[in-house]
């Protein structure tokens, strides 16, 4: 029989034959209140960065699509001047749209990773840590944002190489980071919410494929809403992607935009997304 040791044994006590265990006898002091959330978000983001450090393939392959959009679609439509673009070159007009689109594409499939983590038991184990579900979802949402940020930087570099003149104002760039993170957080929560409803990878994959293009086309990423038929304008008005694009355009290019409204919508959408995903995460735990 073994009694619970009242005091940690001295470091020299080599009871397991494998080194001391003195640090493992005292539970860590719990963070409480508001400190929990940033700590969990940081933990999830660190994991995401570690994974990207081990395997950068995704970073490279993900850069291909936006490069093609800018290079082929962007260059062509700049030349034939078919799409009204608020008086700036179409390629410039398109670049923020492609940043938003390509980060959305990453986020919308984030639920697949969640389903994989559930199937492999990783999620189950995280759910038994002192992490409220909302904090776990928020952490995951911003971890998805880490990937999105890197993607946004890649697209901005490609756009700069193609001659798009964007701002270097640090305040505006900070705004860009917030807009990218919020958009990515919303779409990854949307993805986790759908994952919580459909529960399998295949179904989520299908739904993800089905909704990405409509979300993209029913937004102002490729063309201004004024060029849309009336019914599509209504869809665009409830599509958070449109607000993200509007914010990015205003910040990066200095064109007229509705920044307070854009950020209000993005914050609200993210809050709703986190709430919905937290509620449905329980279904994935069963």
Partner 1 sequence: MRDGTPTTGDAVTCTGLRYSFGQTRAVDGVDLTVTAGEVFGLLGPNGAGKTTAIRCVTTLLPVPSGMVRVFGHDAATEKMAVRRLLGYVPQQLSADASLTGRENVSLFARVFDVPRRERAGRVGQALEAVGLADAADRMAGTYSGGMVRRLELAQALVSAPRLLMLDEPTIGLDPIARTSVWEHIMAVRAATGMTVLVTTHYMDEAEQYCDRVALMHKGRVRALGTPERLIADLRERRGDGSVPTLEDVFRDVAGSGLDEEGGEFRDVRRTRNTASRVG
By CB under 8 A, name the binding residues for partner 1.
1-5, 9, 15-31, 39-40, 42-43, 46-47, 50-51, 54-55, 119-122, 124-132, 285-286
Please tell me the distance from the alpha carbon of residue 276 to that of residue 225, in angstroms, as a whole number: 29
Nearer to partner 1, 4 or 171 (CB): 4
Please report, for residues 57, 69, 170, the alpha-carbon distance to residue 167 in angstroms, rounded to integers and kept in the order given: 29, 21, 8
Nearer to partner 1, 17 or 256 (CB): 17
Nearer to partner 1, 12 or 16 (CB): 16
Give the 3-state secondary structure of 246-259.
Answer: HHHHHHHHCCCCCH
Q: How far is the CB of 259 from partner 1 (least distance, A)?
A: 35
Nearer to partner 1, 8 or 224 (CB): 8
Q: How far is the CB of 186 from partner 1 (least distance, A)?
A: 24
Nearer to partner 1, 39 or 161 (CB): 39
Q: How far is the CB of 46 from partner 1 (least distance, A)?
A: 7
Q: Which residue has the tokens 């880490």?
A: 146
Please tell me the distance from the alpha carbon of residue 225 to that of residue 83, in angstroms, as a whole number: 11
Q: How far is the CB of 71 from partner 1 (least distance, A)?
A: 31
Q: Is the dihedral of CA 273, 278, 279, 283 positive or negative?
A: positive
Q: How far is the CB of 142 from partner 1 (least distance, A)?
A: 14
Contact 144, 229 (CB under 8 A): no
């Amino acid at each position: 029989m073994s009694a619970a040791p009242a005091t940690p044994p001295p470091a020299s006590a080599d009871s397991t034959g494998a080194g001391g265990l003195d640090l493992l006898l005292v539970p860590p002091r719990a963070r409480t209140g508001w400190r929990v959330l940033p700590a969990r978000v940081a933990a999830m983001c660190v994991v995401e960065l570690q994974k990207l450090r081990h395997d950068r393939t995704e970073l490279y392959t993900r850069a291909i699509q936006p490069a093609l959009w800018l290079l082929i679609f962007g260059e062509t439509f700049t030349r034939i001047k078919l799409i009204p673009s608020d008086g700036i070159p179409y390629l410039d007009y398109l670049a923020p749209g492609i940043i938003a689109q390509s980060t959305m594409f990453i986020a919308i499939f984030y639920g697949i990773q969640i389903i994989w983590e559930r199937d492999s038991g990783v999620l189950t184990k995280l759910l038994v840590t002192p992490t409220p579900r909302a904090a776990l979802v928020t952490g995951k949402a911003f971890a998805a944002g880490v990937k999105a940020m890197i993607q946004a930087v890649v697209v901005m570099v490609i756009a700069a190489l193609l001659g798009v003149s964007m701002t270097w104002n640090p305040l505006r760039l900070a705004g860009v980071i917030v807009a990218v993170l919020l958009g990515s957080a919303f779409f990854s929560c949307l993805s986790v919410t759908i994952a919580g409803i459909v529960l399998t990878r295949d179904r989520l994959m299908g739904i993800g494929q089905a909704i990405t293009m409509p979300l993209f086309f029913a937004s102002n990423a490729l063309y201004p809403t004024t060029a849309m038929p009336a019914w599509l304008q209504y869809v665009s008005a409830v599509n958070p992607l449109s607000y993200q694009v509007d914010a990015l355009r205003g910040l990066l290019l200095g064109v007229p935009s509705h920044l307070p409204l854009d950020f209000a919508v993005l914050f609200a959408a993210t809050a709703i997304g986190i709430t919905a995903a937290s509620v449905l995460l329980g279904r994935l735990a069963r």
